[in-house]
């Protein structure tokens, strides 16, 4: 259920921002540390390697979908601890959200701009979901290791 809610929030927020900002580079200054800046990310994670051609675009979408399906399957058929299950659901939702963008639009829609905090990337709810999920999994791992050591 957590993954479904995050995926819905990701897709809704992207469509909302697209309807309001419309063109790449358009921005909306908000009170607080986050502004909205519309960016179409045609590259892979963190914009490190540009995507060149349709084959790369579809390959990235396929990898995202496979990750989402595998992680979703693990949670459904062999659920680990609650924090790990929640973390896997978050990662699966984020992977699926960005895969949907690549399939539908040819790029990932990013809009959360934390430049006021010195953060150089513009990101989206799917990205936050993946980061949150990985954090939950790592925290669970460290806490379990610590409990076994005592």
DSSP 116: G
The pLDDT, as a whole number, for residue 39 is: 93
The pLDDT tens digits of the residues spanning 38-96 come to 999 887 665 655 666 677 767 777 777 787 778 777 767 777 788 988 998 999 899 89
Are residues 63 and 72 in contact, defined by beta-carbon separation less than 8 angstroms?
no
Q: Where are the alpha helices (DSSP H) in the chain?
A: 2-21, 54-77, 82-105, 125-149
Helices 125-149 and 82-105 meet at what angle, rounded to 10? 160
Mean pLDDT is lowest, of 42-46, 108-112, 114-118, 144-148, for: 42-46
pLDDT of residue 126: 96
pTM: 0.81
What residues are labeled active site? 110, 127
Spatial separation of the C-alpha atoms in residues 65 and 8, rounded to whole Å: 16
């Amino acid at each position: 259920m957590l993954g479904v809610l995050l995926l819905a929030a990701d897709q809704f927020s992207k469509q909302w921002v697209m309807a309001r900002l419309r063109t790449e580079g358009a921005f909306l200054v908000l009170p607080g540390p986050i502004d909205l800046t519309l960016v179409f990310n045609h590259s892979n994670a963190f914009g490190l390697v540009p995507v060149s051609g349709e084959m790369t675009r579809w390959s990235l979408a396929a990898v995202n979908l496979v990750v989402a399906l595998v992680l979703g399957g693990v949670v459904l058929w062999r659920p680990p601890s609650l924090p790990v299950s929640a973390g896997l659901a978050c990662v699966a939702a984020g992977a699926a959200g960005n895969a949907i963008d690549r399939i539908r639009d040819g790029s990932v829609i990013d809009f959360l701009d934390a430049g006021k905090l010195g953060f150089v990337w513009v990101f989206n709810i799917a990205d936050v979901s993946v980061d949150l999920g990985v954090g939950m999994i790592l925290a669970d791992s460290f806490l379990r290791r610590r409990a076994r050591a005592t």
